Amino acid sequence: MRLSLLLFLVIFLFSSGTPIQDDDRFISYSVDTKKQALELYWKDDKNEPFRSIENLKSWLGQNKRKLVFAMNGGMYKTDNSPLGLYIEKQKVLSRLNKSSGNGNFYLKPNGVFYITTDNTPVICTTTAFINSGKIKYATQSGPMLVTNGEIHSAFKKGSANLNIRNGVGILPGNKVIFVMSKKEISFYDFAEYFKKMGCKNALYLDGFVSRTYLPEKNWMQTDGNFGVLIAVTENGN
C-alpha cells in the first residue's frame, strides 16, 4: 500500500504540465514536449520583437491560441536580438556564440537548450552543440547550472551574490522543467534545486529581469522587455 502511494506521488509530481510545489522558494513548471505545444518566440508577423509576455499573449489570442505558460528565454542585446544561438522552426536566426567576454552568458561552460523535430528536449554545453538540421527550436544562454549531474564549479555555497534567477532543466523521463526563484537566490542554491529534482543538465536563462506567466499557480507577470520568449500554448476558444 505504501509503495503504491509513493509511486502515485512520483507520477503526479512529474506529470506533464504540472506546477511542482515541493519548494516554495521557486515557481516551477514541467512540460512534456511530446504532448504539449512548447515553442520559442522572438518576433511577430510584422518582424517586430514581442518584448513582453503581454504582447505575446495578445498576439497568440489574435491567432486563436491560449497562453498557458511563458518565461523569458535567454540573454539578449539592447535591440532585443538574441546574444547567442537562436533557432526557430528549423531556421537559424542568430548564430552560435563561442566568444569570451564578461557577464553570466560568458561564464563557461555556457550552453544551449533545444527541441528536435521529433519534440525531444536537450540541454548541452555550447562546445558540445551540433546542428543536425533536425532542431526545431534552440536558445543559447549561460552559464550551465548543472552539467552531467555536477553543479558548475564556479558556484560557491553560501555566496552573497543573490538575484532573481530563471532557468531550464531536463527531468528524469525527458520532461522539461522551467524554474524561477521568487526571491533573490545564489547561483549555487539555484543549481542545487535542479540537481535535487534529478536534472543531469540545466541551463541558466537570465537574472533580475526575469518574468514568468503561470495562471495555474496565480503567478502572472506579463511585463518585461525581452528577446526570446518560451511559451506553452493550447487551442483557444
User: In this predicted model, what pLDDT tens digit does every residue of 184-218 receive, in sequence order?
Assistant: 999 999 999 999 999 999 999 998 899 999 999 99
Report residue 109 as a C-alpha cell.
Answer: 561552460
The pTM score is 0.90
Task: Convert the pLDDT of each residue in 146-177 to its tens digit.
Answer: 999 999 999 999 999 999 999 999 999 999 99
* Contacts for 226 with CB less than 8 Å, ≥ 6 apart: 49, 50, 51, 52, 72, 73, 76, 80, 209, 211
Residue 94's pLDDT is 98
Cα gap 64→224, rounded to integer Å:
23
